[in-house]
Amino acid sequence: MGVENREQEGEQGLPLFETKKLGGTRIGYKVFAAAIFGCIWWIWVYRSVHLPRPGEKGRWAWAGMFLAEVLFGLYWVVTQSVRWNAGYRYPFKERLSQRYKNDLPAVDVFVCTADPEAEPPAMVVSTVLSAMSFNYPPEKLSVYLSDDGGSELTYYALLEASKFSKRWIPFCKKFKVEPRSPGAYFARHSDAGREVADGEEWFAMRMLYEDMKHRIEEATERGSVPMKLKEQHEGFSEWNDPTVTKWDHQSIVKVIIDGREGDAVDDDECRLPTLVYLAREKRPQCPHNFKAGSMNALIRVSSVISNAPIILNLDCDMYSNDSDSVRDALCFFMDEERGHQIGFVQYPQNFDNITRNDIYFNSPRVVNEIELREIGGYGAALYCGTGCFHRRDSLCGRRYSRGRKPEWSCEARRDEPVEQLEQGSKLVADCSYEKGSQWGKETGVLYGISVEDIATGLKIQCQGWKSVYYNPKREAFLGVAPNTLDLSLIQFERWSEGMFQIFISKYCPLTFGRGNIPFGAQLGYSIYLLWAPLSLPTLFYVAVPPICLLRGISLFPHVVSPWFVPFACVFLARNAYSLVEAMSCGAAPKAWWNSQRMVLIRRTTPFFFAFIDAVLNRLGLSQIAFNLTAKVATDDAVSRYEKEIMDFSGSSMMFVSIATLALLNLFCLVGGSMKFGMDSKLWGQMALGGLVVLLNLPVYHALFIRSDKGCFLASVVFKSVLVASVACLIANLIG
């Protein structure tokens, strides 16, 4: 007993998490990076020394190349800020359990959905069920579903999920099920004999899930809930008014499972978590501020019902893949020495539908495993909008105070009847509640920026809070990645536009963060906030050299000149290191090649459109728009995605841009090689054009060879061929 007591006393003094730095292993990389920067500097010297005289052919193209290379070089320097601060974080949840047992803080989980057509209710409730099934005391767990679509279909799906949870949660505990999203679990584990001891019980549970899913999908396809069910639940009376629409409806708050009540138990007589449905009020004349408005309504409604000191927010498709992720996060918040400084803990975004070679570069392994991790090493992780645990105080705008210790008890209205809680919650979910207040400014999630999460995280850190980025070996949360090129481009256009809006706003990390977060973290933020303007030098580099090749204008040094060495070194070293870095994070070489294609497409198309939109918005010539990324696609599109065949079936200007740039490089490379193929001064440009052509091989295939539904539309082919041909014709005439 004496030895055991001494061991327990020793455990009491140990931290709940630790950070390991990788200082020594980075010395070689720092030497490598210094050599690369030396080559970049020599490229700048070459451009400035060899600038053509006024009146010479190609002077303006040369000056544009110089400016583009300066911008590329400076951006490369910015990216180094997250490669010089390597470190890993390790939580010790065993110590947490030994030290606190079940004396843990309450946790509120926010799940956000907006449209039952783009985000199927069956998928949404699987995410909700995964959160209800956390390995955590159920009396301290509350799950809120915010339905910004205000749909009775989503409400009905949640009712079905509440009944299913009484069987599902005990099943998960009994057989230690992972993941605890029934949709993901039954899709992933088809052989019952390998998963559980009692195959009959497994099949019975699967049948219950399939029945529930069928009822939900049947109602969704029909567009209405059966009248018999409506008569059984008075909650459906909220939709009795035929004037209720997605954009015009009253506040709806329904406590579906009241975790305070003794009869809110599962089939094993264990307490169930609290489950709440929320549809905040929407009126056409009142701005609803998209997801930020939804999050702020959730903060207020939850403060009335459960008021947990810790909040987890999830997208509706981002289900829990590790039932212990709550305990891992609490290790950071509850550490006796440093936990009181932590404002939020961010887990990476991972996806469960990534193809083997990640055709659309949806899984940014290097970003997750290196860049975001090392920004977090500065104590300033990026809040990414999902998979994030917040301290309620920090999210509500309270500044960090060094002397104040956290209080883990919550002041929820434990004795009030459910009807009274619902009525009080409706008041704080009304449109009028925020008028004249600081919500969206100093309190809650920020308004006025389409990527509200990044700006909100920066604001929290500038109020003195630290943040943690934690990337465990087992992915804590998994979502659904876009499975068509169109959806992927729309998503990245929205992200890059919103992030550039932050950079040109008062929340620019280089000014707003000065003195509040480390300089390395300011640069780390800028890597992503500068995606949109990076499109300008990329577009110039992709469009101008091929045109100059067609005209016989050399923009690079002769291949036998010493000045060619720094160009070759930067190109080879940058790409070689990029490949090694990607492979070290588990990517295959083909996946890396696909990522290079997608980087080119993103920088020349959605990032450019985002840059234009952000500038117009800043000038007051356009308004912020939020395009929801659909989580469903046609069977044809899904089949092509699984076979890793790129889908170019959209008709937007982005597809015209992609095809035009690909054709421009192909036409100019062929024409330039025929006219000047023996001129070694142009070999550098030919190599650049050849690389762009190789990256665009799937584009040419979809333009001229494929005949399936995923190839370019005839209108896109016509426009792109016309524009590229006219550009080449003009270049020839000028030449």
Which residues belong to the active site?
Answer: 148, 453
Please give the backbone phi and psi of residue 416, each rounded to the nearest 5 degrees, phi first: -80, 145
724 Cβ contact partners less than 8 Å away, ≥ 6 residues apart: 660, 663, 664, 667
Do residues 457 and 382 make contact, with C-beta atoms less than 8 angstroms apart?
Answer: yes
CA distance 62 to 545: 9
Please give the backbone phi and psi of residue 681, each rounded to the nearest 5 degrees, phi first: -65, -20
Do residues 123 and 174 make contact, with C-beta atoms less than 8 angstroms apart?
Answer: no
CA distance 60 to 528: 29
Q: Are strands 141-147 and 274-279 parallel, antiparallel or unpaired?
A: parallel
- Segment holding 399, helix H or strand E: none
**Nearest residue to 599 (alpha-carbon basis) of 118, 75, 245, 236:** 75
DSSP 234: G
- Segment holding 469, helix H or strand E: strand 466-469
DSSP 440: T
CA distance 703 to 279: 45
CA distance 283 to 323: 38
**Quick one: tokens of 709?**
């539904």
Q: How many helices and strands in the chain, by DSSP H and E?
A: 28, 13
DSSP-based three-state secondary structure for 611: helix
Do residues 659 and 722 make contact, with C-beta atoms less than 8 angstroms apart?
Answer: no
Which segments of 233-289 does DSSP mark as H helices, in order?
A: none
Do residues 384 and 291 make contact, with C-beta atoms less than 8 angstroms apart?
Answer: no
C-alpha separations of 148 from 382, 455, 554 in Å? 25, 22, 56
Q: Is 285 exposed, middle or buried (0-12, 13-18, 19+ CB in 10 A)?
A: exposed
CA distance 125 to 121: 6
Question: Which residue(s) pair with 145 in the sheet?
Answer: 111, 277
Q: Is 592 exposed, middle or buried (0-12, 13-18, 19+ CB in 10 A)?
A: buried
Do residues 525 and 375 make contact, with C-beta atoms less than 8 angstroms apart?
Answer: yes
DSSP string, 617-681: HHTTSS--------S---HHHHHHHHTT-------SHHHHHHHHHHHHHHHHHHHHHHHHTT-GG
DSSP-based three-state secondary structure for 155: helix
Which amino acid would we find at residue 512? F
CA distance 366 to 347: 15
Neighbours of 36 (CB within 10 A): 20
CA distance 504 to 66: 24
**Nearest residue to 667 (alpha-carbon basis) of 622, 579, 729, 594:** 729
**Quick one: tokens of 26?**
């980075």
Do residues 570 and 690 make contact, with C-beta atoms less than 8 angstroms apart?
Answer: no
Neighbours of 619 (CB within 10 A): 8
Do residues 310 and 105 make contact, with C-beta atoms less than 8 angstroms apart?
Answer: yes
CA distance 40 to 46: 10
Do residues 355 and 488 make contact, with C-beta atoms less than 8 angstroms apart?
Answer: no
